[in-house]
Amino acid sequence: MRTIVLVLFGVVTTGLLSCTREKTTESPPVPQATRLAFVVEPGRTEAGVAISPAPRVAIQDQFGHTYQTGTTAITVTLGANPAGATLIGTTTANTVAGVATFSDLRIDRPGSNYTLFATATGLTDGSTIAFQVGLTFSAISAGGRHTCGVTIAGFGYCWGDNVNGQLGDGTTSQRQSPTRVAGNLHFAQVSAGYLHTCGLTTGNVAYCWGNNVANELGDGTIAQREMPTPVAGGLAFAQLSAGYDHTCGVTLNNVGYCWGRNDLGQLGDGTTGPGATPTRVTGALSFTQISVRTHTCGLTTGKAVYCWGRNVEGQLGDGMPVYFRNVPTPVAGSLSYAQVTTADLYSCGLTTGSVAYCWGEGWSSTPTSIPGALSFAQLDGGSRYTCGATTGNLAYCWGDNVYGQLGDGTTTAQSMPTLVMGGLTFSLLSAGNVHTCGITTGTIAYCWGYNLLGGLGDGSTTNRATPTRVIQ
């Protein structure tokens, strides 16, 4: 038998011949820049404050990985914008390692369901999930039919009646939710009067805006102002109080100054002539606080209270049947006071022992203790009603209640302190003309009472007899 041996490609094979096919391998897809995606998105952010942490937008490939090659300009805008707000800051940034960072973006108005939108040439747009822009108030002041507050960032916001420009936003348009005061000023305090508002900057400069027919803005004119205007004189103030048609303040060296209407001596300068610019309160008194409505009262560094102006109802507290006083007059008695507040036709004081006293219309012409044995930490007088926060942070109000400004769920007047409904605890209360506002111990702003012009800031024009949260 013969055996056949085949040599194929150097391989010796016997028997059955077999063939194999060479395999081919496909190359993987090349990553390509295809889309934008927010890799850091805003959560709740404070209005007017840089969004933190800063939003970051990445260029991604088709696999969802960051595409790090090259430099690309990315622009961010507001997508959903429920409040008609403005996005402020650097809105276009170049990528570094595929990511663009927007470190100074801020939104000027509060609201819910905002979104950011990212665009770049040749790439699919990106968007954030909905987020909230809020306000955290550190101070609040209820005025005639408007309200103003200061946020923790030092920005002024106002809402409500604006026919005289008292909201300070450069218009005379009514607002039903907080609107930023124009001018990019940083405030430490704001005081809402009847038709005007004054604010004190963190640099101790006084500004006023709104109605000015009685010189209550203190700029030397009677021109209405829709934006903050500096008070004349260049004085450095520590505290301000705006009333019906006059304003007073205390300087850093404890001197009292007033300006505006003075027909009943409410400026305390010994005359009854108007003051177009700040006029020094006569006497050698050193003040820590001044409170203004239709008359004026001041607290001295010695913890005594002096009042001046109209006295028909006994609101000056000196026990004398005198029509008015044009110089500071000591309140009767020897009480030691920690705070003073003026209502329309009466005054109240809080002693260093946390006891509330009032005098004038509805009381006597000398200090009379408030019934109820409550210990108060703060008081504020409105138009014929008063509110106070106790040392335990409970809110009580008493007096007129036509629009529900007492917050007890009724429109019935109360002669004794009545607990504000809602179970809230307050660190600050402000009584206006016909509405009340407060800041809770949890830094939430609430208002109640008259709201036909939007002074409660809840987005409506419905009166409220219990606390309603301000849009924030």
Write the pLDDT tens digit of every residue in 195-219: 999 999 999 999 999 999 999 999 9
Topology given in CATH for the domain delimited by 33-134: Immunoglobulin-like (2.60.40)
Residue 472, pLDDT score: 86
> What average pLDDT does range 385-392 have in this prediction?
98
Write the pLDDT tens digit of every residue in 9-18: 344 444 444 4
Rounded to whole angstroms, how far apart are CA atoms 399 and 125?
Answer: 59
Q: Chain-wide mean pLDDT for the chain?
A: 94
24 pLDDT more than 80: no
pLDDT band of 4, cuts 50, 70, 90: very low
Q: How far is CA 294 from the centre of its chain?
A: 26
**Cα–Cα nearest to 276, from 212, 204, 197:** 212
Asked if 61 contacts 32 with a C-beta cutoff of 8 angstroms, the reply is yes
DSSP 117-142: EEE-TTSB-EEPPPEEEE--EEEEEE
- Counting DSSP H helices and E strands in the chain, the numbers are 0, 42
| Range list of β-strands (E), 253-323 | 256-260, 275-280, 287-292, 296-300, 305-310
Number of Cβ within 10 Å of residue 88's Cβ equals 13
Write the pLDDT tens digit of every residue in 85-106: 899 999 999 999 999 999 999 9
| Tokens coding 356 | 């509330």
Write the pLDDT tens digit of every residue in 290-331: 999 999 999 999 999 999 999 999 999 999 999 999 999 999
Least reliable range by pLDDT among 9-23, 115-129, 379-393, 400-414? 9-23
Residue ranges of the chain that CATH labels 2.60.40.10: 33-134
Asked if 351 contacts 369 with a C-beta cutoff of 8 angstroms, the reply is no
> What average pLDDT does range 21-29 have in this prediction?
67
| Tokens coding 59 | 């260029």
| Tokens coding 193 | 């009067």
Residue 18, pLDDT score: 45
7 pLDDT more than 60: no
**CA triplet 359, 361, 364: central angle to 5 degrees?**
45
138 pLDDT more than 90: yes
Tell whether domain 137-469 is in CATH 2.130.10.30: yes
Residue 27, pLDDT score: 78
Asked if 56 contacts 95 with a C-beta cutoff of 8 angstroms, the reply is no
Residue 25, pLDDT score: 66
> What average pLDDT does range 181-193 have in this prediction?
96
Write the pLDDT tens digit of every residue in 48-67: 899 999 999 999 999 999 99
Report the percentage of the chain scoring pLDDT > 90: 90
Rounded to whole angstroms, how far apart are CA atoms 174 and 177?
Answer: 9
Of residues 112 and 404, which shows the higher confidence score?
Answer: 404
Judged by DSSP in three states, 415 sits in strand
Residue 23, pLDDT score: 56
Residue ranges of the chain that CATH labels 2.130.10.30: 137-469
Residue 156, pLDDT score: 96
Rounded to whole angstroms, how far apart are CA atoms 447 and 431?
Answer: 10
Write the pLDDT tens digit of every residue in 260-291: 999 999 999 999 999 999 999 999 999 999 99
Residue 10, pLDDT score: 41
119 pLDDT more than 80: yes
Its sign, for the CA torsion 264, 269, 273, 276, is negative
